[in-house]
């Protein structure tokens, strides 16, 4: 059997990127009127789980962006395009999607590898961005009482195991939205899920561990702020209150 080179796989991946963009453009071009957009929104309403966000969508490309932000639609997950094709009755979208799926199925492993690599590169911050963040963080810390900051960090370190255990037990199937609110990149979430498909607690642990490692030891008080905000955004204010109580003990 003839072996396909890495360069050939890269070429296939680059073509898939173009084809994915073309799929979205074909669907967008078929969405001529308001009624078409409403049909498309209704076709994904159950997956989005947010009537408020869907109501704010006024353009087809905004709908696509929302789905991509929630990792419901991507180069590796084109299935929702079929919903649009049915809602729009667009034959050209149907033909393009069929061809796209065939190519994706034939080269899935290689395409996925290049896709995740690209996501990792995209999610990495530049050195300049990191330096600016350090300066801002330093300025913020200068306005705080050092003893108060250290106390907050120290209390978190004392209670960290209990915090992790609590979240591993309670976050459940919301672990991925929780991870997104902790600023864990989609590519990292995908890798964590692939490594631990049968172990939800380990997935939650790795999400927490990855998010915490983005903060230096002397800035863990900032991680606590992000953690509590993530729980609030995930609609788990009950867990937020429990952790706040633990950190006051």
Task: Express each pLDDT in 203-231 by its tens digit.
Answer: 898 888 888 888 877 778 888 889 999 99
Residues listed for the chain: 249
CATH among 3.30.60.50, 3.30.450.30, 3.40.50.12280, 1.10.533.10 for 148-248 = 1.10.533.10
User: Within 13 A of 30's CA, how many CA atoms are on the CB side?
Assistant: 22
**Tokens, residue 195:** 């490594």
Long-range contacts at 138-146 (CB < 8 A, ≥ 24 apart)? 141/219
Do the beta carbons of residue 110 and residue 12 sit within 8 Å? yes
- Which among 145, 76, 89 has a CA at the least distance from the CA of 117? 76
Range of weakest confidence among 38-47, 131-140, 235-244: 131-140
Residue 125: what pLDDT? 45
Residue 132 has pLDDT above 60, yes or no: no
Residue 60 has pLDDT above 70, yes or no: yes
Do the beta carbons of residue 85 and residue 60 sit within 8 Å? no
Do the beta carbons of residue 165 and residue 221 sit within 8 Å? no
CA-to-CA dists, residue 36 to 28, 47, 59, 84, 179, angstroms: 10, 18, 10, 9, 33
Q: Model's pTM, two decimal places?
A: 0.49
**Tokens, residue 86:** 């049915």
Task: Express each pLDDT in 174-209 by its tens digit.
Answer: 899 999 998 888 888 888 888 888 888 888 988 888
Do the beta carbons of residue 124 and residue 117 sit within 8 Å? no
CA terminus-to-terminus distance, the chain = 65
Distance between CA atoms of residues 178 and 229, nearest Å: 10
**Tokens, residue 74:** 């991507």
């Amino acid at each position: 059997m003839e072996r396909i080179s890495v360069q050939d796989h890269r070429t296939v991946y680059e073509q898939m990127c173009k084809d994915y963009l073309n799929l979205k453009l074909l669907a967008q071009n078929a969405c001529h009127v308001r009624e078409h957009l409403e049909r498309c929104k209704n076709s994904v309403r159950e997956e989005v789980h947010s009537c408020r966000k869907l109501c704010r969508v006024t353009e087809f490309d905004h709908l696509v962006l929302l789905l991509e932000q929630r990792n419901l639609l991507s180069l590796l997950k084109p299935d929702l395009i079929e919903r649009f094709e049915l809602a729009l009755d667009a034959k050209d979208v149907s033909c393009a999607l069929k061809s796209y799926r065939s190519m994706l199925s034939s080269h899935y492993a290689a395409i996925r590898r290049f896709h995740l690599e690209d996501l990792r590169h995209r999610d990495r911050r530049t050195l300049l961005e990191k330096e600016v963040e350090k300066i801002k963080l330093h300025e913020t810390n200068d306005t705080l009482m050092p003893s108060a900051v250290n106390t907050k960090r120290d209390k978190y370190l004392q209670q960290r195991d209990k915090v992790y255990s609590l979240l591993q037990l309670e976050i459940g199937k919301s672990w991925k939205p929780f991870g997104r609110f902790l600023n864990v990149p989609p590519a990292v979430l995908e890798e964590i899920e692939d490594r631990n498909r049968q172990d939800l607690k380990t997935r939650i642990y790795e999400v927490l561990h990855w998010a915490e490692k983005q903060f230096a030891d002397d800035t863990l008080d900032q991680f606590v702020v992000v953690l509590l905000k993530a729980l609030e955004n995930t609609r788990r204010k009950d867990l937020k209150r429990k952790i706040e109580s633990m950190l006051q003990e």
